[in-house]
Amino acid sequence: MRLRRRDFLKTAAAVGATALTTGPRLNALAAAPITASSGESKGRWVATTCQGCTTWCPLEVFVQDGRAVKVRGNRHSKQNDGVCCPRGHLGLAQVYDPDRVKVPLKRTNPVKGRGVDPKFVPITWDVALDTIADRMMDLRRNGEAHKYLLMRGRYTYNRDVIYDAMTKIFGSPNNISHSAICAEAEKFGPYYTEGLWDYRDYDMDKCKYLLVWGCDPVSSNRMVPSAIKRLSGIVKRGTLAVVDPKSQTSALKAQEWLPIKPGEDGALAGAIAHEILVNGKWNREFVGEFVDRKNLFVPGKVVDEAAFAEVHTSGLVKWWNLELKDRTAKWASKRTGLDAGQIKRVAKGLGEAAPNVAVWLGPGACMQVRGGYASMAIHALNGLLGAVDNEGGTLDKAHIPVLKMPKLDAYLDDVAKVKHKKIDQRGTKEFPALAKGKPGGGVVTNNAARGMLDADPYDIKMAIGYMNNFTFSCTGAQRWEEAMTKLPFYVHLTTNASEMTMFADIVLPCAMTTFEKWGWVKGKQNRYAYASLLQPVIDPVFDVRTEETEIPWLIAEKLAERGFTNLLDFYRNEYKDSDTGASAKDAKDFARVVTKYYLSPIWTTEKGKGGDLVGDWDEMVARGMWNSDPYPYKKRWGKFKTETSKFEFYSATLKKALTAHAGKHKTTVDDVLETCKYTARGQLAFIPHYEEPFRSGDPKEFPLVFVDHKSRLNREGRSANTTWFQEFKKVDPGDVSWDDVLKINPLDAKKYGIGDGDMVRVTSTTGSFELKVRLWEGVRPGVVTKCYGQGHWAYGAVAATEFGKIPRGINNNEIMPAEYDRLSGSTARNGGFTGIKLEKI
């Protein structure tokens, strides 16, 4: 036990010590007499935007003496009503992280690899930029401009400047975004049913039955503060049901928790649809009715397509005949491990509350091998229930009046005009990546590592990465370590020395989002779309630059010095101050000018149209954001952006895309599906349907299923270096502060003779890892779960046990192999596709 001061103060205390004469004087009060008035010292609230997650909340930061001291939601925000989630506050610990990179660095150790000290030495900005520009010019001279790779991580919409313009004008096709490592399967279902390649907005204020599927909206998934505020209202007014193999907060708040077996989501969705149809609970106004009004949806019975007259949907009877007719609750119960009665109850509840219901499709339901079809099946329920674009349902976003990137064409020289394939192998037979209906239209982020390792389609000679950390954030992270080891020249634009930084040849210290940089984002929540800007709320603490604007400008200047002026010309000529018409004076000014350019319609050409009236740029900066008018219900009814303009239960849109992809490779759709690891053949390929879950690892050898989940304190893998993240880790149900635990049901623990707090060896197809076990009743037996976010072996002194060497815990992305939902290009992640085995150590 610690020696307490009380013990030696006891005597003094007993006689009634008087502190005023014995104690040291209080520092502040020494200067100010005890009569000093109470209250906050001078400061002002400055508007900006949070990027702790992709909700992208409009924020305000309180600034005192040039320091950021506290955070709140933006008062003008109709999305968060002036309140942010816990992550908003955590940002302060990131901007004031003592482990931030403070100057440009150069690697002096040519040997690369995990655990190898790069022997970084400080260099000037000028030397760093010269080195980068020389390398780039060499590539152009040697006809290898396409061997330049730009990897994007967290961005604002000023991204065009570095991501599109710089890469394309320089002459490379390789601008690779991070999008597919956490999202695209979630967009796949909505796109191939209702033509929306985006996240949905959920009208929680009016919702009477919310079915949350594979996420915890009060922790993550793009409308966090808004969901936190509204969740209890739904529980009071109606029903909340949650599908998730583990009990996170929404599942505790819900009236119904459906602890499904991982990957069986398509079975449950099919059964709910089956129940809705058999019981005649579909929404007539949206879907239509049988011609003679008699419900012919009888289990097991084929229905004549002509018997049903659809209104805003297409292919209902095909869907029934091909897939749903046999998807009974009993059948689904076997697959999902759920009670058939509960499945029926949920279907009935949804049907009765329709159309003011929403099925909230989260990543756990579809970021899975074959997850694209689960994504369709789950989202199709919204169509069946008439919830799409309806009160209390799932919505698109209202128009946001901003500019597009200026046209590049005039700045593309002969080098830049040559067409080359992309390093992520998108569009190959194995990777259809059918974003927005286009074969190879989407990114396959995680597969770029394979492209680099196999030099297929060619070798990458130089890469710049900004605010990305693929050696940590991509599944099969080990492959990225190899790819980065092999890469001859890497420039990392970052705030901290992250895992990926440890492979860099040049490190450029970057401004912290929210607090130190210009930028802007778009978003939507509660029917209100918005544009919100980021601005330098404080002068940067260190000698940093903004990665999306200042750094490309500085590189463009260096390239111009070396005779290649196109990039700088583009930046100078095309981005002009929208009030004065002047080009940017320098890199710093450019960051502001670009932001102003994109947002200019808000207070110029479209002033007051469709949303808030913003007088001028100064007002925009002061209020920080623009809200749209509320999104009109039923806006897209009759004009969905699908092949049929309808909500498609039989996706003519997917048929077209898949057929085009097969055609490109001179083969059949069936062959494509087989190559891409799907089980469907024939017409099934075009409808939402059940696919058996894919598991990595033979179940005999790897009997347990590993499920990754998100932390409510995780700022996109970047907050683990803050003490506050570690201290309050316990707010993630089942987790332990300052630790990284594998959560396992006590029944399973018993089988393996494991006790709470024991160390175990976890083995998956990627390797073996040692972890601490936490017995937790909140997870389904047979499933083992761990929160993403710990396991950093770099980043800083708090995140890692020993910086550069020993991780704190294990990164989930090392346990999970690189696998994909190939139709969407998505990395398989939290759907639970990794088989593991456990051994007590």
Partner 1 sequence: MTQYGMIIDLDKCVGCGACALGCKTENNTGDRAGGQTFNWADFMVTEEGRFPRATTTTLPVLCNHCSNAKCVEACPVEPKAMFKTADGITMHNDERCIGCQSCQEACPYSVLDISEGGAQYSVISFNEDGIGNFSRFESKTAVIAGGTSTGEELTRLTDAKPAHRTEYRHPDYDNVRRPDVTEKCIFCAHRVAEGKLPRCVVVCPAEARVFGDLSDANSEAARLLKANKSFRLNEKAGTQPNVHYIGSFVTRKNG
- Which residues of the shown chain bind ligand SF4 in the complex (CB under 6 A)? 50, 52-53, 55-57, 84-85, 87-88, 224-225
Helix (H, G, I), strand (E, B) or coil at 7: helix
Residue 229 vs 641, nearer CB to ligand SF4? 229
In the complex, the smallest distance separating the C-beta of residue 718 from ligand SF4, rounded to whole angstroms, is 11
CB of 84 to ligand SF4, least distance (A): 3
CA separation for the pair 362, 22 (Å, rounded): 61
**From ligand SF4, partner 1, none, interface partner of 28 (C-beta below 5 to 8 A by class):** partner 1
Angle, vertex CA 712, rays to CA 708 and CA 717, nearest 5: 65
The C-alpha atoms of residue 445 and residue 264 are separated, in whole angstroms, by 26
Minimum Å gap between C-beta 570 and partner 1 is 33
The option from partner 1, ligand SF4, none interacting with 287 (CB < 5 to 8 A, set by class) reads none
Give the residue with the Cβ less far from ligand SF4, 225 or 734: 225
Please, what is the minimum distance in Å from the beta carbon of residue 834 to partner 1?
Answer: 21
Which partner, partner 1, ligand SF4, none, binds residue 50 by CB below 5 to 8 Å per kind? ligand SF4
**Residue 382 or 498 having the CB closest to partner 1:** 498
In the complex, what is the shortest distance from the CB of residue 93 to ligand SF4, in angstroms, rounded to a whole number? 13
Query: How far is residue 408's CA from residue 164's CA, in Å, rounded to a whole number?
Result: 9
Q: Which is nearer to ligand SF4, 429 or 710 (CB)?
A: 710
Residue 733 interacts with which of ligand SF4, partner 1, none, CB < 5 to 8 Å by class: partner 1
Q: Within 13 Å of residue 308, how many CA atoms lie on the same side as its CB?
A: 27
Q: Residues for the chain: how many in total?
A: 841
Query: Are 835 and 699 contacting, i.e. CB atoms less than 8 angstroms apart?
Result: yes
Q: For residues 88 and 238, which CB has a smaller minimum distance to ligand SF4 in the complex?
A: 88
Q: Is residue 816 within 8 Å of 829, Cβ to Cβ?
A: yes
- 38 contacts which partner out of ligand SF4, partner 1, none, CB within 5 to 8 A by kind? partner 1
3-state class of 320 per DSSP? helix
Q: Which does 604 bind (CB under 5 to 8 A by kind): partner 1, ligand SF4, none?
A: none
Q: Quote the least distance from Cβ 85 to ligand SF4, whole Å.
A: 3
- The tokens describing 70, both together, are 């506290």
Q: Which is nearer to partner 1, 7 or 292 (CB)?
A: 7
Instruction: Look at residue 798 and give the partner it binds from ligand SF4, partner 1, none, a contact being a CB closer than 5 to 8 Å depending on partner kind.
Output: partner 1
Assign residue 561 a region: left if phi > 0, alpha if psi is -120 to 50, beta otherwise?
Answer: alpha
Q: Which is nearer to partner 1, 97 or 194 (CB)?
A: 97
26 binds, among ligand SF4, partner 1, none (CB under 5 to 8 A by kind): partner 1
Q: Name the β-bridge partners of 465.
A: 151, 492
Do residues 403 and 602 lie in contact, with contact meaning Cβ atoms separated by under 8 Å?
A: no
When the beta carbons of 62 and 633 are compared against ligand SF4, the nearer one is 62
Question: What is the nearest approach in angstroms of partner 1 to the Cβ of residue 724?
Answer: 6
The two structure tokens encoding residue 330: 């009993």
Name the minimum Å distance from CB 508 to partner 1. 12
423 binds, among partner 1, ligand SF4, none (CB under 5 to 8 A by kind): none
CB 382 within 8 A of CB 388: yes
> Which of the choices ligand SF4, partner 1, none does residue 371 contact, using the CB cut-off of 5 to 8 A by kind?
none
Tell me the backbone φ, ψ of residue 138, rounded to 5 degrees: -55, -45
Q: Shortest Cβ distance from residue 52 to ligand SF4 (Å)?
A: 3
**How many other C-beta atoms can be found within 10 angstroms of the C-beta atom of residue 106?**
17
Q: Which does 430 bind (CB under 5 to 8 A by kind): partner 1, ligand SF4, none?
A: none
CB of 550 to ligand SF4, least distance (A): 23
Cα(450)–Cα(704) distance, integer angstroms: 28
Collapsing DSSP to helix, strand or coil, 621 comes out as helix
Measured at the CA of 212, the angle between CA 209 and CA 214, to 5 degrees, comes to: 165
Q: How many CA atoms within 13 Å lie on the side-chain side of 619?
A: 13
Element (H, E) at 271: helix 265-278
Find the shortest distance in angstroms from Cβ 61 to ligand SF4: 12
Complex with ligand SF4: residue 225 or 552, whichever CB lies closer: 225
Secondary structure (3-state) at 743: strand
Residue 797 interacting entry, from ligand SF4, partner 1, none, C-beta within 5 to 8 Å by type: partner 1
Nearer to partner 1, 253 or 421 (CB): 253
Q: In terms of CB distance, is 63 or 176 closer to ligand SF4? A: 63
For the chain, first and last CA: distance in Å? 31
Q: How far apart are CA 204 and CA 112, in angstroms?
A: 50
CA–chain centroid gap for 612, Å, is 28
Shortest Å, Cβ 10 to ligand SF4: 29
Residues 6+ apart with CB under 8 A from 676: 430, 431, 432, 822, 823
Shorter beta-carbon distance to ligand SF4: residue 50 or 271: 50
**Residue 807 · residue 784 · CB < 8 Å:** no
Q: Identify which of 436, 370, 339 has the alpha carbon closest to the alpha carbon of residue 657.
A: 436
Cα distance between residue 552 and residue 549, in whole Å: 6
Q: At closest approach, how far in Å is the CB of 179 from ligand SF4?
A: 17
Find residue 361's DSSP bridge partners. Answer: 213
If the CB atoms of residues 216 and 557 are measured against partner 1, the closer one turns out to be 216
Residue 46 contacts residue 57 (beta carbons within 8 Å): no
CA distance 269 to 276: 11
Q: Distance (Å, rounded) from C-alpha 159 to C-alpha 212?
A: 32
Of the candidates 309, 290, 287, the one whose C-alpha atom is nearest the C-alpha of residue 386 is: 287
Tell me which residue of 592, 464, 611, 625 sits closest to 519, measured CA to CA.
592
How many whole angstroms from its chain centre is CA 438?
A: 22
Give dist(CA 445, CA 422) in Å, integer: 11
Residue 127, contacted partner among ligand SF4, partner 1, none, CB below 5-8 A by kind: none
Closer residue to ligand SF4 in complex, CB, 49/642: 49
Q: What does the DSSP 8-state code read for residue 156? A: -
Nearer to partner 1, 226 or 532 (CB): 226
Residue 240's binding partner out of ligand SF4, partner 1, none, with CB under 5 to 8 Å set by partner kind: partner 1
Binding partner of residue 231 among ligand SF4, partner 1, none, CB under 5 to 8 Å per kind?
partner 1
* Least spacing, CB of residue 344 vs partner 1, in Å: 15
Shortest distance, CB of residue 255 to partner 1, whole angstroms?
6
CA 32 – CA 449 distance, rounded (Å): 61
Between 367 and 534, CB nearer to ligand SF4? 534
**Which of 612/735 has CB closer to partner 1?**
735
Q: Binding partner of residue 56 among partner 1, ligand SF4, none, CB under 5 to 8 Å per kind?
A: ligand SF4
Shortest distance, position 100 Cβ to ligand SF4, whole Å: 20
For the bound state, the minimum distance from the C-beta of residue 367 to partner 1, rounded and expressed in Å, comes to 23
Which residue's Cβ lies closest to ligand SF4? 52
Residue 11, token pair as written in the block: 């005597």
Query: From partner 1, ligand SF4, none, which one binds at residue 622 (CB under 5 to 8 Å depending on kind)?
Result: none
CA 106 from centroid of its chain's CA atoms:
31
